[in-house]
């Protein structure tokens, strides 16, 4: 199997990640923060190490401002619903994932409005389109860092500077960027950043986080037992416990720490260079085939390792099915939980074929995919 669906989740997972999860189950087993015995204490140290690893990866931010969540989706919901109030206004883009679009649509019922910046047909954002949408009530700009459809990287630092000048908060959805490119929230004026553990960070599913800059307060999305201040029936005020009620996914977070260690060993710059090289090669190879439509920025050197394409007169789901069943190549077809993005690049409602590479993919994988698509085109043209 050639796995080219790393934008959905990374595969294969490093052996160290699998070993760390197994070690937790076999040797630790305790519930973090729920007792004074050795297994619980060691479980707490696992969570602390993972939190510090994430903080280090983000330019040594304050670890207590890293909130562990089950996913980027939950982290984004916590950011929106813990921050915004009736009357607030949000500016976002037409390239966002449903993890942004659906919460914003739901918040309209609470009197929280939003405006979409239309991106170009190639999915690119012009930051000069933002100021006309800013209102006195604008509290937040919500921006995807890297598109899960086209791989385009958004001008996050430029938008962050603009947001700071206007006194507006910036929330970044880094689902496709974490572990693939260096990110420094302080340098880029990012106030909140949501990310997954199971994609570019190579960790298990069921892990994610929200970074919240110091001085910015949120309301918790849920309340309950935290293992601290158990004498009180009020939710504690301390970070990060205030936002982590219930039992954390400690085995998953143990695996995430191992995944981060592998990312740091490989090097973020090296990962970015490798994945961009593969995508450039894929775009070049596919562009030589008849009937191929490529989407996203023409400059693949400024993208993550994701590329969307279609074969004229063939449904994207049919192409993906043939690649899977006849060639053992795993790609994803459809709308990728981002219908607004597909409307922007004019591929709605059918979608695209999406290939997304990871650090363990090779040039041979890319050549095999191009050859397979070439054969599919040849068979259909007979």
> Hey, which residues are catalytic here?
337
Locate 354 and state its tokens: 């999406």
Work out whether the CA dihedral 221, 225, 226, 230 comes out positive or negative.
positive
Please report how many Cα atoms fall inside a 13 Å half-sphere around the Cα of residue 115, on the Cβ side: 15
Angle of CA points 153, 358, 146, to nearest 5°:
15
Residue 201 and residue 271: Cα distance in Å, rounded? 11
SS3 label, residue 204: coil
Backbone angles phi, psi at 356, to 5 degrees: -135, 125
In angstroms, the Cα distances linking 76 to 69, 200, 352 are 10, 18, 25
User: Crossing angle, helix 268-287 and helix 363-380, to 10 degrees?
Assistant: 20
Q: Encode 212-239: b = buried (16+ Cβ within 10 Å), e = exposed.
A: bbeeeebebbeeeebbeeeeeeebbeeb
User: Crossing angle, helix 250-266 and helix 268-287, to 10 degrees?
Assistant: 80
Nearest to 133 by CA among 123, 145, 124, 143: 143
**Hey, how many other C-beta atoms are within 10 angstroms of the C-beta on 299?**
12
Backbone angles phi, psi at 229, to 5 degrees: 50, 45
The residue to which tokens 């916590």 are assigned: 78
The residue to which tokens 């340098």 are assigned: 187
Omega before residue 320 within 30° of 0, cis: no
Residue 20 and residue 25: Cα distance in Å, rounded? 9
């Amino acid at each position: 199997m050639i796995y080219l669906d790393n934008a959905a989740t990374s595969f294969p997972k490093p052996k160290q990640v699998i070993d760390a999860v197994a070690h937790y189950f076999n040797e630790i087993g305790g519930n973090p923060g729920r007792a004074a015995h050795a297994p619980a204490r060691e479980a707490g140290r696992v969570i602390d190490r993972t939190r510090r690893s994430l903080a280090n990866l983000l330019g040594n931010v304050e670890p207590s401002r890293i909130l562990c969540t089950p996913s980027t989706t939950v982290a984004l919901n916590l950011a929106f619903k813990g921050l915004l109030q009736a009357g607030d206004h949000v500016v976002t883009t037409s390239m966002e994932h449903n993890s942004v679009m659906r919460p914003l649509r739901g918040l309209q019922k609470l009197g929280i409005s939003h405006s979409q910046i239309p991106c170009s047909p190639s999915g690119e954002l012009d930051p000069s389109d933002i100021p006309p949408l800013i209102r006195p009530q604008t509290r937040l700009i919500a921006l995807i860092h890297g598109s899960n459809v086209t791989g385009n990287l958004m001008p996050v630092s430029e938008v962050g500077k603009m947001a700071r000048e206007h006194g507006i908060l910036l929330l970044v959805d880094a689902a496709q960027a974490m572990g693939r490119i260096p990110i420094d929230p302080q340098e880029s004026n990012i106030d909140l950043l949501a990310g997954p553990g199971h994609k570019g960070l190579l960790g298990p599913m069921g892990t994610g986080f929200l970074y919240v800059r110091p001085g910015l307060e949120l309301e918790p999305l849920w309340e309950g037992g935290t293992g601290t201040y158990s004498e009180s029936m009020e939710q504690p005020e301390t970070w990060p416990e205030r936002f982590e009620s219930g039992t954390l996914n400690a085995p998953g977070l143990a695996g995430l720490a191992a995944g981060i260690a592998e990312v740091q060993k490989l090097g973020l710059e090296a990962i970015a260079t490798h994945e961009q090289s593969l995508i450039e090669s894929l775009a070049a190879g596919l562009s030589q085939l008849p009937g191929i439509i490529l989407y996203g920025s023409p400059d693949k050197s400024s993208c993550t390792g994701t590329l969307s394409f279609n074969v004229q007169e063939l449904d994207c789901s049919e192409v993906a099915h043939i690649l899977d069943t006849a060639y053992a190549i795993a790609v994803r077809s459809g709308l990728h939980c981002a219908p607004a993005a597909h409307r922007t690049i004019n591929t709605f409602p059918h979608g695209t074929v999406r290939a997304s590479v990871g650090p363990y993919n090779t040039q041979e994988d890319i050549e095999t995919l191009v050859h397979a698509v070439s054969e599919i085109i040849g068979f259909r043209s007979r």
